[in-house]
Amino acid sequence: MPVDPQVVRETILAESVLIDKQGILGLYEAVRKMMGFGLGGLLYRAGKTAGHRSADLLAQRLNVQGEDLLTALTIAFNTARWGQAELQRTNGDTWTLVVRDSVLGANMESKKPVCHPIAGYWAGFLERALGRSVDVREVECMATGAPACRFEVRLK
């Protein structure tokens, strides 16, 4: 049975805490200033844990897996307004994730990519949905002037 986008939206909104963008950005900037750019790995791991949990939640609540779970993820991510994501899959083990209007990248300026939590989130979610290890790395970021945030997804 295909995924019902409205059911996904209702599920994610019932399990989410809404925080204004400026609150998220202020928190992110404060932590980044205190800890420096070494913070990226920590935020990636935290995002990955959140991605695992989100996948488990959607799989259980919606009774979906595989392709339907991947569809549900994109709907959930976009509903949560972290950005507008598009997963571009190929037959190979390297995919591309494009996130337009990233809540982090679109609202910050940096010399380096800043969307570590988003990369980790997608890595964690994809690991659960695909049943294999996944690494996601941001290769272009709106914070550096790119038109969208672009991530390289490597399936292991």
Distance CA 135, CA 145 (A): 24
Note the pLDDT of residue 24.
Answer: 60
- 65-105 tens-digit pLDDT: 988 999 999 999 998 888 999 999 888 899 999 999 998 89
pLDDT of residue 31: 67
Q: pTM of the entire structure?
A: 0.84
Higher pLDDT, 3 or 18: 3
Torsion sign, CA atoms 73, 76, 82, 88? positive
Cβ-Cβ contacts under 8 Å for 133 (sequence gap 6 or more)? 127, 155, 156
Ordered by start, the domain boundaries in the chain are 5-15+41-155
CATH number for the 5-15+41-155 domain, one of 3.30.110.40, 3.40.605.10, 3.40.50.2020, 3.30.1380.20? 3.30.1380.20
